[in-house]
Amino acid sequence: MHALLNAIAQMALPGDAQRIFHGRGGLHPGCEHWALDAFAPVWLLTSFQPSAEAELASVHAALGERLQQLAPEPTLNWVYQCRYKGQTETRLMAGAVPTPHVVTEDGSRYLVHLLKGQNHGFFPDMAQGRRWVRAHVAQHPGIKVLNLFSYTCAFSVVALRSGAKQVVNVDMSHGAMALGQKNHQLNGLSGGASFWAHDIFSTWGKIQRGGPYDLIAIDPPSFQKGSFVATKDYARLLRRLPELWAPGGHVLLCLNAPELDTAFLQALMVELAPEFSFVERVDNPPAFADASPQRALKVLVYQAPASYAAAATPA
């Protein structure tokens, strides 16, 4: 675990939520099962295989030593989570976790819950996607945004803070939606957002009637039994995409499935929404560098035609 300990020894004192060590990127042989995130004032160590107590003691010592160097009155707070063979173990290893626990990114504030479940309320790997949304909305103030699989609505917070007129958030999890509403309140956003705790496919008529949308963000789970399976359900979504777009609007397609590459999404768009043109793939944060970029998070930007007539014109 030398690479992990070395990353701790060299890290700066984090302010915003961020990844410190990304073993899953495959750039550190022998450390592929480790990930370390900073959710100030707490560090979260995640392992995808069981860890020996001696290994955890080494991490504790490394964090403590580095914090002594960085902070005048250091208090070490850290959580360990093991995810292995479908089981999850979460332990508070030192200090405490604030209640409520609020983290920041680029001036926005978000609630997280590190001691509950595998999804903590905020995904640091989507930082560049949120920055793309912020910059895009700032250049196109007053637009209407559809946020599908919105989870705790970070895209919505960023869009509204950047000048969006309206954001429709859709996610089947009532708990995530409740947290999303709190995130809006944390950021002083009292209007402009709708929160629909519905299954996207069963409430499509309502989503369609709410359009058209100038920006559509689609960030589904790669595999969630009974909800969404990317290999079959992404096509169901994209087949109906032409029902939602505003002329000249943009679509942000996200997929975090190592087994599916960029070509998977691009082929679906060519087949099912050929009127949309590919713009770019948004880079992932440097901390999430991957030996195989196609395995890493994919965030693709597409643009709709400037008019409905153009879409109907044969190529």
Examine the pLDDT at 35 and tell me if it is beyond 90.
Answer: yes
- Supply the mean pLDDT for the chain: 94
pLDDT of residue 315: 44
Q: pLDDT band at residue 230, thresholds of 50, 70 and 90?
A: confident
Q: pLDDT band at residue 308, thresholds of 50, 70 and 90?
A: confident
Examine the pLDDT at 225 and tell me if it is beyond 70.
Answer: no
pLDDT of residue 29: 94
pLDDT of residue 226: 61
pLDDT of residue 86: 85
The string of pLDDT tens digits covering residues 245-300 is 999 999 999 999 999 999 999 999 999 999 999 999 999 999 999 999 999 999 99
In angstroms, rounded to a whole number, what is the distance separating the alpha carbons of residues 270 and 284? 24
The string of pLDDT tens digits covering residues 88-101 is 999 999 999 999 99
pLDDT of residue 16: 97
The string of pLDDT tens digits covering residues 180-223 is 999 999 999 999 999 999 999 889 999 999 999 999 999 998 75
Examine the pLDDT at 134 and tell me if it is beyond 80.
Answer: yes
pLDDT of residue 224: 62
For residues 115-141, give the mean pLDDT: 96
Q: pLDDT band at residue 310, thresholds of 50, 70 and 90?
A: low
Examine the pLDDT at 314 and tell me if it is beyond 50.
Answer: no
CB 100 within 8 A of CB 114: no
pLDDT of residue 36: 98
